[in-house]
A and B are shown apart, each in its own frame.
Chain A
């Protein structure tokens, strides 16, 4: 499936800003065999003085843009063409017992220690659990249970027990709060699930991405489709990282596009930055994920 993703972020400021600097994680990742990035561009108005990419600890591409002329508005337009293939089949019953996965991440059982997964096994700033969340997660992980079976069940339970309700939480809401409320948006669902998994030291990461905006005919529109979306991936030694979407109770497939991943939202928010002298800011964000039919005769491999 070929998608065109447009992600616009617009700020308008009360006073002209003298200076602003933006940190963007807007370039979709390549997932070998699952997701190819045909093209990816970021256009910023006004033209920034500099736009520089670098890689973060988790392999995401971050761009830093600096604007040093007075400006009252900024528009960031990220456009990507993504080819999404169905993820390879996953047999959750065939995954490793969760304790083995935990011990690998903690460096107890395997040498060399799989240090790529270890950073995802511990509570981070926005995924700190309390005893309640830990207990909630634990009941899906009886001794010896395959890790992906437990993760599937936890996904379903969060979907059942929580209400999707925009406005009930904020972008800095911690999982202990949204857990107590039993409501939130995809970011909260993901953080609660991560807090629970990591309380057990099961390596799990936060995935930032998009959902197809208009569903295929006859299917309902998924929650979170008009904006950036977030879900969770759990690690297994055989299947690797496997995605779970607790907001929609599903294993992401053709409709999910991965942008970046990290320990939590704080590491990987799509656009953040600093601004000097702007006063009050008004922010608007728009995301559109549209399937594209490649025209005949044209080269499929457009590059940027």
Chain B
């Protein structure tokens, strides 16, 4: 080594590389050889960069950001997930072949190691691996040991974090055995990148992912047969991997479920759907194994899917990956990987690990104590860092913890890594990098997806949590250029055609019902706020009288006392916008609405979801609500009502009239019925002196003012208004219209007997009551001015609709009502009569 920096041969390079700096032979660079020349497999990309120029590239990078953000939004990714470097990492065919061999070997090693520790235990008996690494692990599942026959495979999917050391060798940073399924990011990232950078992507003939996933899909099909049911279980919308779970489930056409959707009956697993229990054949497991099967892990709080292991044990359910795989996850293989490979594979390990010491060994603990600066302490089976911020500051605490349970920790060091070009603020700079790669089983054995998700690594820092990232392009072997590959989008549409009309999960039906209710609730609050503010701003004395405003607002709030004053009005507006203690506040409704929509995401269209997302993420809801800024607020309300209308239209036009649409519609009609009944009571339940003002407010709230004018061309009188807003079956805002629609949809729900369902009968009876009523009677006040008949009808409506709602949830959303409980256990030493 000369030690002298080699200048880059600048002439052939695009100007974007002006700041790239010298390439040093001691540090491998993906794009440049030690002498500073571009590597041959990057030439195509550099040629394109040269043509595109800095502006052209910046445009593509911006495109990519937009595309990623869009797919992120489409599957409810968290906001910070979408920012990622646009420059791909390009790997040559030969380089990849070697890596592929290494990782396929690694996946097989993990499989054999799990099969051994849960089976014959040879590696422990022969001292290849210390027993403490397995038996002290919180991931070790005693109830999955010694099964006869053993599960066919422990692993079906495998992910690894890998990096290239500065000297050019690949090293493994982590084996993700427990909950892989990060493939959603890989695929979404690839779709976005191949679109934004389509020119070089196509021109260079980058290897496609679709073939790999098609092979996985047909492998799964082969395992479960045509009638089989595939589901992906996620930890839920707050799981950091939710985006990938949702995306990958959609891609594979698997039902996206949560642990509570699963029930185990007599050796088989079922999901709860509207049509009853449906047997599950393959479970892609995105929820941690330790959080499942409360029957066998009573110490773990989660109550999802008790007895799940019995379904796998009986061979009726394939769990991909198997319960118990976390015992060797993350860094569990690393400390003894070479010895494991020699024993279990009778082969040399092809890809080594980044330095990793198992801290169950007192000698390793002593070494780490000596070389404190070099090592990071991490739980061995989990990707969470202990004392990330304090590191070794609280040394005594750490030492005490390691003395008590050192077996559960390891010390790791990330070596100096290779560089790759990265896009940063309009220029290209070198940076250390790592990537996650994805493997799965196919009919022909393990297959590694040709590509990966890469990220920059700050030197000496732990690798980042990956979501979206730099796309990794693998070039084809020029000797074997394949036939035109199928694209990812082809696979998407193909699989959709094959299987449609799956049974709706009970939980999703429940979410849709509440989505419908919350959409209506949002609209009701928005309308009340809107009319109130309009009156306030218009300055029309009669309409804007404080008592009218307060009565209007009081329809929605529970927290603000309806004293007629400007201050009370201001307080009520604030409460209705931002107060989380106010049930009908926008803050509350939007939170629930978003959660309903995410959890029902699989049943609604992307367009519909986008409307909800846009509504809920509007930052203007956080702003100042003082009446001085009421025109801003009014604009926000108008915009939001517009989005809700768009959502309603989209749901109406784009959802097929299946159960999903029905539950959305039922929720909507019940909520609007209850709300309209409340408004009728509040605004027309009592004959007043200034009744016209109230009636006008009611017409405006119901968006029926012009309908009224076109019909009556006269001043506002109670019988006419009541007829239009309560009894007119042609007015979509009238009370009876909601009941009529509700009755119509309820009739179409599945039933077990030839008789009408109880909630349907209730709705029919209520509808008849409306049809038998007349406006004159309803509008007639008694001596005290009260409209008794109207009151009776609206009160009955609210009660009946409440009962319909209860009956529905009892019949269809069984998971919430009919609880599945772990049986309380006899306390040792305390039993007895």
Interface residues of A (CB under 8 A from B): 9, 11, 18-23, 49-50, 54-58, 64, 66, 68, 105-108, 111-113, 115, 118-119, 121-123, 125-126, 128-131, 134, 166-167, 170-172, 185-187, 199, 201, 208, 223-224, 226-230, 247, 262-263, 265-267, 269-279, 281, 283-287
In contact, A66 and B265 (Cβ under 8 angstroms): yes
Contact status of A115 and B125, CB under 8 A, knowing A66-B266, A106-B132, A274-B821: yes
Decide if B145 is an interface residue (CB 8 Å cutoff).
Answer: yes
Q: A230 — nearest CB in chain B belongs to which residue?
A: B828
In contact, B125 and A112 (Cβ under 8 angstroms): yes
In the complex the two chains form, what is the Cα distance from A265 to B826 in whole Å? 11
Number of A-B residue pairs having CB atoms within 8 Å of each other in the complex: 189
Q: Which residues of B contact A267 (CB under 8 A)?
A: 142-143
In the complex the two chains form, what is the Cα distance from A9 to B404 in whole Å? 38
Residue among A68, A115, A247, A273 with the highest chain B CB neighbour number at 10 A = A115
In contact, A227 and B826 (Cβ under 8 angstroms): yes
17 contacts between A and B (CB under 8 A): A21-B264, A56-B146, A106-B130, A111-B127, A115-B131, A118-B135, A119-B142, A125-B300, A134-B404, A172-B298, A185-B829, A270-B826, A272-B295, A276-B821, A277-B818, A277-B819, A283-B825
Q: Which residues of B contact A19 (CB under 8 A)?
A: 265
Chain A nearest CB, measured from B199 CB (Å): 56
Q: Which residues of A contact B307 (CB under 8 A)?
A: 21, 23, 274
In contact, A171 and B823 (Cβ under 8 angstroms): no
Q: Which residues of A contact B146 (CB under 8 A)?
A: 55-57
In contact, B824 and A281 (Cβ under 8 angstroms): yes
In contact, B125 and A228 (Cβ under 8 angstroms): no
Q: Which residues of A contact B266 (CB under 8 A)?
A: 21, 49-50, 66, 68
Q: Which residues of A contact B124 (CB under 8 A)?
A: 107, 113, 115, 118
Find A11's partner among B127, B306, B823, B827 (CB 8 Å cutoff). B823
In contact, A170 and B827 (Cβ under 8 angstroms): yes
Contacts A23-B295, A119-B135, A227-B831 known; 13 new A-B pairs at CB < 8 A: A11-B823, A113-B131, A119-B142, A171-B826, A185-B830, A230-B828, A230-B829, A271-B823, A272-B295, A272-B823, A274-B295, A278-B821, A283-B824
In contact, B404 and A199 (Cβ under 8 angstroms): yes
Chain B nearest CB, measured from A205 CB (Å): 12
In the complex the two chains form, what is the Cα distance from A277 to B295 in whole Å? 17
In contact, B404 and A130 (Cβ under 8 angstroms): yes
Q: Which residues of A contact B828 (CB under 8 A)?
A: 171, 185-187, 208, 224, 227-230, 265, 269-270
Chain A nearest CB, measured from B183 CB (Å): 32
Q: Which residues of A contact B405 (CB under 8 A)?
A: 123, 128
In the complex the two chains form, what is the Cα distance from A263 to B825 in whole Å? 18
Q: B136 — nearest CB in chain A belongs to which residue?
A: A122
The 9 closest A-B pairs by CB, nearest first: A285-B831, A227-B831, A118-B131, A185-B829, A125-B299, A122-B136, A57-B145, A226-B832, A186-B829
Q: B266 — nearest CB in chain A belongs to which residue?
A: A66
Q: B126 — nearest CB in chain A belongs to which residue?
A: A112
Q: B817 — nearest CB in chain A belongs to which residue?
A: A277
In contact, A247 and B829 (Cβ under 8 angstroms): yes
Decide if B284 is an interface residue (CB 8 Å cutoff).
Answer: no
Q: Which residues of A contact B126 (CB under 8 A)?
A: 111-113
Chain A nearest CB, measured from B126 CB (Å): 7
Decide if B486 is an interface residue (CB 8 Å cutoff).
Answer: no
Q: Which residues of B contact A111 (CB under 8 A)?
A: 126-127
Number of interface residues of B (CB under 8 A): 50
In the complex the two chains form, what is the Cα distance from A272 to B263 in whole Å? 16
Within 8 A of A (CB), among B776-817: none
Decide if B400 is an interface residue (CB 8 Å cutoff).
Answer: yes
In contact, A275 and B131 (Cβ under 8 angstroms): no
Q: Which residues of B contact A126 (CB under 8 A)?
A: 299
In the complex the two chains form, what is the Cα distance from A20 to B264 in whole Å? 10
In the complex the two chains form, what is the Cα distance from A270 to B313 in whole Å? 21
In contact, B823 and A115 (Cβ under 8 angstroms): no
In contact, B127 and A113 (Cβ under 8 angstroms): yes
Q: A167 — nearest CB in chain B belongs to which residue?
A: B830
In the complex the two chains form, what is the Cα distance from A126 to B142 in whole Å? 14
In contact, B132 and A263 (Cβ under 8 angstroms): no
In contact, A273 and B829 (Cβ under 8 angstroms): no
Q: B827 — nearest CB in chain A belongs to which residue?
A: A171
Q: Which residues of B contact A247 (CB under 8 A)?
A: 829
Chain A nearest CB, measured from B740 CB (Å): 34
Q: Which residues of A contact B298 (CB under 8 A)?
A: 172, 266, 269, 272
Chain A nearest CB, measured from B135 CB (Å): 5
Q: Which residues of A contact B829 (CB under 8 A)?
A: 166, 185-187, 223-224, 227-230, 247
Q: Which residues of A contact B403 (CB under 8 A)?
A: 134
In contact, A275 and B135 (Cβ under 8 angstroms): no
Q: B298 — nearest CB in chain A belongs to which residue?
A: A266
Within 8 A of A (CB), among B639-669: none
Q: Which residues of A contact B717 (CB under 8 A)?
A: none
Q: Which residues of B contact A228 (CB under 8 A)?
A: 826, 828-829, 831
Contact status of A56 and B819, CB under 8 A, knowing A113-B131, A125-B299, A227-B830: no
Decide if B833 is an interface residue (CB 8 Å cutoff).
Answer: yes
Decide if B820 is an interface residue (CB 8 Å cutoff).
Answer: yes
Chain B nearest CB, measured from A160 CB (Å): 19
Contact with A along B129-160 (1 / 0, CB 8 A): 01110011010001101100000000000000
Contact status of A185 and B820, CB under 8 A, knowing A19-B265, A57-B143, A129-B404: no
Contact with A along B101-122 (1 / 0, CB 8 A): 0000000000000000000010
In contact, B818 and A56 (Cβ under 8 angstroms): no
Chain A nearest CB, measured from B394 CB (Å): 14
In the complex the two chains form, what is the Cα distance from A283 to B823 in whole Å? 9
Decide if B310 is an interface residue (CB 8 Å cutoff).
Answer: yes
Decide if B289 is an interface residue (CB 8 Å cutoff).
Answer: no
Chain B nearest CB, measured from A158 CB (Å): 14
Within 8 A of A (CB), among B283-329: 294-295, 297-300, 306-307, 310, 313
Q: Which residues of A contact B827 (CB under 8 A)?
A: 170-171, 185, 187, 227
Decide if B822 is an interface residue (CB 8 Å cutoff).
Answer: yes
Q: Which residues of B contact A66 (CB under 8 A)?
A: 265-266
In contact, B822 and A226 (Cβ under 8 angstroms): no
Contact with A along B210-226 (1 / 0, CB 8 A): 00000000000000000
